[in-house]
Chains A and B, each alone.
Chain A
Amino acid sequence: DVKVTQSSRYLVKRTGEKVFLECVQDMDHENMFWYRQDPGLGLRLIYFSYDVKMKEKGDIPEGYSVSREKKERFSLILESASTNQTSMYLCASSSQLYGYTFGSGTRLTVV
């Protein structure tokens, strides 16, 4: 089975901190994605990557950056965390054969 692992289930950070959310997949997928999910707003795409060191902005990239130094790892970075970035963050990888597989999510609270 494809496995997508997010490093933390729950995270509490202070306003202004630099925050790293890590995501690792074990199926050699080229495409990886970061979403955030908020009540009433659904899943919104922040960034995605289609290859090592390649990245594309999604629908809401402001305040975020990403890093993909190795194929299996896709990191989301909050340069200076703000309270409006409190959310559920979901990482996924995809293949043409099986579609999307999501990690278990990280609930981030910025205080």
Chain B
Amino acid sequence: GIQVEQSPPDLILQEGANSTLRCNFSDSVNNLQWFHQNPWGQLINLFYIPSGTKQNGRLSATTVATERYSLLYISSSQTTDSGVYFCAVEPWETSYDKVIFGPGTSLSVIP
């Protein structure tokens, strides 16, 4: 089946710094989604981005489906950005919107 990798596994940032998180996948996908899991455990939908670039405030995401990767950019990081970031891909031949989650990137933003 499809493999999903995320890098880096862990990241520590000073408040105000910028960062790029990467998601690689091994096969064609219908869709890709980025989530932020906050310290209380809730998974927040950040971007639903099968291809192209989207921006939402300090966050933006780019998916290059032909090269099988997606990037999540965080600019001017804040302590509230801390948590785990997951990408999830919907494989090309899946049914019922089933997705495969990556292992996540754990981000700590320190004051």
Residues of A within 8 A of B (CB): 31, 33, 37, 42-43, 45, 48, 50, 56, 88, 90, 92, 94-96, 98-105, 107
Contacts and interface: CB of A to CB of B under 8 A. Distances in A.
Interface stretch (B17-25, B42-50, B74-82): B42-50
A98 B48 contact: yes
Contact of B96 (A31, A42, A99, A102): A31
B33 A99 contact: yes
Contacts of B52: none
Interface size class of chain B, counting residues whose CB lies under 8 Å from the partner chain? 10 to 19
Contacts, number: 49
A45 B31 CA distance: 18
B103 A42 contact: yes
Contact of B98 (A48, A98, A102): A48
Taking chain A's interface residues, is the majority helix, strand, or loop, or is none over half, making it mixed?
Answer: strand
Contact of A100 (B99, B103, B104): B99
Given A90-B43, A104-B40, A107-B41, 18 more contacts: A42-B101, A42-B104, A45-B98, A48-B96, A56-B96, A88-B41, A92-B43, A94-B97, A95-B97, A98-B45, A99-B45, A99-B48, A100-B35, A100-B45, A100-B88, A102-B43, A102-B44, A102-B45
Contacts of B103: 42
Contacts of A105: 40-43
Interface of B: 31, 33, 35, 40-45, 48, 86, 88, 96-99, 101, 103-104
A94 B96 CA distance: 9
Contacts of A94: 97
Contacts of A42: 101, 103-104
28 contacts: A31-B97, A33-B98, A42-B101, A43-B86, A45-B98, A50-B96, A56-B96, A88-B41, A90-B41, A90-B43, A94-B97, A95-B97, A98-B45, A99-B33, A99-B45, A99-B48, A99-B97, A100-B33, A100-B35, A100-B88, A102-B35, A102-B45, A103-B42, A104-B40, A105-B40, A105-B41, A105-B42, A107-B41
